[in-house]
């Protein structure tokens, strides 16, 4: 556990942008696969550091986004790395189920082909209608 | 090689933000290590797709940033993945030397400790003064 003064010291060192946000990349802690890129404000980073569960900031809903709260597809944050500019972070996570709202393991699942199409290169593992059937 | 109509079709499908940018995460193609997070505009993504070398957009210098052009620390882009929102991309790269301007392999090299410090957890592999000694 981390105490409040130490937590605030960590947060104070982070360079949130003009909108109060940093980029956050979630990476599978075991396979290295990059699962998603999202955003965090100070409150999201604080809660992630203190709870050990990935919490982002939803720019569309203007609220904290506790990953998996409605879908069940949570991310346990095992470790964290800040970058040299202190404005981006990598979370090494244990992903329950899938990270992507399309039901794919990773959001980064489309590759370019020479005909000009972005082609899905990962299977849908969970029917997305079951992920968000009960809430938004 | 990709022809111009196909290239433009790929670029047209990408959701650049209000500033004409997407986030781009560079990942070591062989180890899975996340090396850096940067930005691309349409021209940077176009050149990356056609040349096979990672090209970003520098928000501070307002110009294309051909990674390694001045430092020699280039990134050969072996593959690419677009995300479900079409506004972020992962590049799987072969990194020459180091990705970080501090001389560390990855920009994501600072971990939080319980005393409130972000502690460097990766060694400086190249003296940074030698990386940019000749140009900016």
ipTM at complex level:
0.94
Per-residue pLDDT of A52-95, as tens digits, reads 999 999 999 999 999 999 899 999 999 999 999 999 999 999 99
Per-residue pLDDT of B22-81, as tens digits, reads 999 999 999 999 999 999 999 999 999 999 999 999 999 999 999 999 899 999 999 999
What average pLDDT score do residues B84-94 get? 98
Which residues does A92 contact at the CB level (< 8 Å), separation at least 6?
A: A27, A28, A29, A77, A78, A79, A80, A81
> Hey, are the CB atoms on B110 and A8 less than 8 Å from each other?
no
**Domain contains B93:** yes
Residue A59, pLDDT score: 94
Interface check A11 vs B, CB under 8 A: no
**Domain contains A78:** yes
Size of interface A-B (CB pairs under 8 A): 130
Residue A134, pLDDT score: 47
Number of H helices, E strands in chain A: 3, 8
Q: For chain B, percent helix, then strand, then coil, each to nearest 5?
A: 15, 35, 45
What average pLDDT score do residues A107-121 get? 97
Domain of B90, in residue numbers = 4-100
Cβ-contact A35, A99 below 8 angstroms:
yes
**Domain contains B28:** yes
Which among B73, B112, B117 is the top mutation candidate for probing chain A, defined by the most A β-carbons within 10 Å of its own β-carbon? B112
Dist. CA A2–CA B10, nearest whole Å: 46
Structure tokens at B19: 């500033």
**Domain contains B87:** yes
Interface check A109 vs B, CB under 8 A: yes
Query: Out of A40-44, A82-86, A128-132, B97-101, which region has the weakest mean confidence (pLDDT)?
Result: A128-132
Q: What is the CATH number of the domain that holds B57?
A: 3.10.20.810
Structural domain total, chain A? 1
pLDDT of residue B6 exceeding 50, the answer is yes
């Amino acid at each position: 556990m981390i105490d409040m003064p130490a937590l605030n010291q960590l947060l104070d060192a982070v360079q949130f942008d003009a909108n109060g946000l940093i980029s956050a990349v979630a990476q599978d802690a075991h396979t290295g696969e990059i699962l998603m890129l999202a955003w965090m404000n100070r409150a999201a980073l604080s809660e992630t550091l203190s709870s050990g569960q990935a919490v982002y900031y939803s720019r569309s809903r203007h609220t904290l986004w506790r990953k998996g709260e409605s879908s069940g597809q949570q991310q346990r944050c095992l470790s964290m790395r800040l970058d040299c500019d202190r404005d981006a972070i990598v979370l090494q996570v244990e992903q329950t189920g899938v990270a992507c709202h399309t039901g794919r393991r990773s959001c980064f699942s489309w590759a370019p082909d020479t005909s000009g199409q972005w082609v899905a290169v990962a299977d849908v593992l969970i029917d997305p209608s079951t992920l968000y059937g009960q809430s938004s």
